[in-house]
Structure 1
């Protein structure tokens, strides 16, 4: 057994530089793209900075991740794809023509991502994008992306209030769950794409911080109560960068309502029986059982106060992530972040949470990755040592005041 951990980040981000998407667009969109790109102004400061090429510079990316002790990554999108004004899945299109162009833009991103993953064989699992306004097109893109080798699975958009989309519990999405279950494609729901617009008042930022993860959590109970896992028992859901400490309490709450509604459905002529009618058969197993059978958490830079909950969450369910190249990520202090969270945690549990579980969910080959980790991975002894003071210039919330409180 090696004395180093094989670290796989289950939460990284990448995308092409804007003009580099052009070759991946269907030719019939090239003129429209040229006109759009000529006037487009990127709203994201980090995509205009000198470090923006971390999103697409394959060699730089590999070097920096290895220097940080990471040998493989699950790659979520980050840059703006063609015909989108901003973040791809948070920008409702006003017309059918806009939807068509944005679909073309997402397909271009997915094609680019397949090539980007191929540039580092076995070390990147790309997460492809879809829109939910046309389920038939989404199903086609799932099949196309899977055939292209994008092992990271599907990025499930949110359905925030006001989006005009059916809620995620709707049977309208059943063909999507069916194809993902059939092909073994993980369904990922990343924080940030499910919140409704909140306006520009100063309080909006604080409200967003309070509510954004809750809106992302909704995917769990929508799919559970909608019966997606009952109808498609091979379906896998991954909730990424939404924290993990909330999971035990929410599962208890969902179990309570599940049991209450099932029981109410058996009682005729009661007020609650109306709420339970038709649900008992549709929902299937209790939410906590569904979690054990079908769900995972991309816990990203897991905070120390969350670690004592790992048995209640499921050690086999937790996947750590660095969030590279975001400022809130742990780079270049991933080793310190791992020490801060996992010091004194048993070695086999650490190995599962920071690499083994991600390898299992996303299909990474540990026979390929372990020899690389033997050269660049953090040592078991190193991670076992409590951190003490965090690096003075660390920007990740993993090191934030209060994040190190332990509840043993």
Structure 2
């Protein structure tokens, strides 16, 4: 966190120094054992301390060279990068900030996100063919947001992370049309991520949290609430007319789960075609909701389950992009015996053909993010296991817990991991 200071305006240095004192006492990343202790059993936390923290496997979160070592070790040729609730003036996850009674000031958000972007641009420049960084942009000031997006494109970042929105100024507000148009023109996808993107910027109620009967109940209660508000992004994009007005805008939904989309689109199509909804809705939406999704939307399927892989054709084989979620505990790279075993327990167990596996593991993402496929192939040939090994059926159940066995979720989302 302290390393962000040179990237912040000098007039905020004193305020940032004050924040660093608060961060030293209350700040936690979602990969820190102290945070994991609030959601995992003690034996899992001890194993994390020994096998991951003790082996310095988390240093790639801030050191790109260390991350490349970890990626090579795991067989990952390239990655799309998201902030891990550790941007300037950010104390931790939204739940963590609510528990600490902390709220970021608007001016700190407005300055902190560009500071993170400049740090990130330096990070990805170490291996631009392997890293796809997401620019963090605050939409409140539209002109400033557009200037930051233009800078991000010039700096080599490949997309924009969708922020949270105020209830009184929703993402379908005409105010934001210039931003969507710019993203179309620059061919920069907008990426939604659970916990970072939402139709509402309301904070979790500390009173509600204090009423929870046991600490283990906090995440099932409030993660479900988070999932609900993030899933509404698709509703806002479609029924708010954003995808109609901006037909070249590409949207990715990451870590929302994948299977919820099928039921959500069935319900939205029925609302459009079969319900008593006023027919003049067609003056605003000239296509069915599922047609907008098919034209413009994709899924960052992490952490994916065996059930989701089994349902890949109904979810959308050409839509799913499999994610490994470094440096989180539930990521395929760390939970259990590693990514190869995870792929065998999901793709291998579902007898996924090689051509379909290539779509899920690389081709969809290369197309959406504009990555250099030839450069990634060179890396993959050097570090990756053979496809036949990736698609081997598992010999034993190595994942009695975690996301491998997670059932298909509803449109309200499931609390995985």
Q: The TM-score by the shorter chain falls in which range?
A: 0.7 to 0.9
User: Would you say 1:338 and 2:352 are equivalent positions?
Assistant: no
Shift in Å, 1:390: 4.2
Q: Which residue of 2 aligns with 1:398?
A: 403
Instruction: Mark the runs of 5 or more structure 1 residues left unpaired by the alignment.
Output: 1-17, 267-276, 404-408
Quickly say closer, same or farther: Cα 1:173–1:90, change in 2 above 3 A: farther
Match of 1:294 among 285, 289, 296: 296
Q: Secondary structure at the match of 1:189?
A: strand
TM-score where L is the length of structure 2: 0.80
Q: Distance in 2 between matches of 1:97 and 1:324?
A: 26
User: Would you say 1:84 and 2:90 are equivalent positions?
Assistant: yes
Match of 1:72 among 66, 78, 94: 78
Contact 1:47 1:79 survives alignment (8 Å) = no
Q: Which residue of 2 aligns with 1:178?
A: 181
Q: Secondary structure at the match of 2:257?
A: coil
Match of 1:119 among 100, 122, 126: 126
Match of 2:17 among 21, 34, 40: 34
User: Would you say 1:56 and 2:62 are equivalent positions?
Assistant: yes
Q: Secondary structure at the match of 1:188?
A: strand
Instruction: Mark the runs of 5 or more structure 2 residues left unpaired by the alignment.
Output: 34-52, 409-417
Q: Which residue of 1 aligns with 2:147?
A: 140
Q: Which residue of 2 aligns with 1:265?
A: 278
Compare 349-358 and 128-137 and name the one that shifted more: 128-137
Greater relative contact order (Cα < 8 A, sep 6+): 1
Q: What's the C-alpha RMSD, in Å, of the aligned pairs?
A: 2.8
Q: Distance in 1 between matches of 2:299 and 2:406?
A: 23
Match of 2:112 among 93, 100, 105: 105
Shift in Å, 1:348: 0.6
Match of 1:192 among 190, 195, 202: 195
Compare 295-304 and 133-142 and name the one that shifted more: 133-142
Shift in Å, 1:127: 0.7
Q: Distance in 2 between matches of 1:227 and 1:27?
A: 41
Q: Secondary structure at the match of 2:306?
A: coil
Shift in Å, 1:46: 4.7
Per-residue Cα deviation, 1:267-299 (whole angstroms, up to 9, x for no partner): xxxxxxxxxx5x322123111111111000000
Shift in Å, 1:301: 2.9
Per-residue Cα deviation, 1:42-74 (whole angstroms, up to 9, x for no partner): 432556564552311222211111111101000
Contact 1:19 1:37 survives alignment (8 Å) = yes
Q: Distance in 1 between matches of 2:292 and 2:328?
A: 32
Contact 1:135 1:176 survives alignment (8 Å) = yes
Q: Distance in 2 between matches of 1:264 and 1:384?
A: 46
Aligned residues: 367
Q: Secondary structure at the match of 2:357?
A: helix
Q: Secondary structure at the match of 1:40?
A: helix
Compare 214-223 and 193-202 and name the one that shifted more: 193-202
Contact 2:271 2:277 survives alignment (8 Å) = no
Shift in Å, 1:384: 2.0
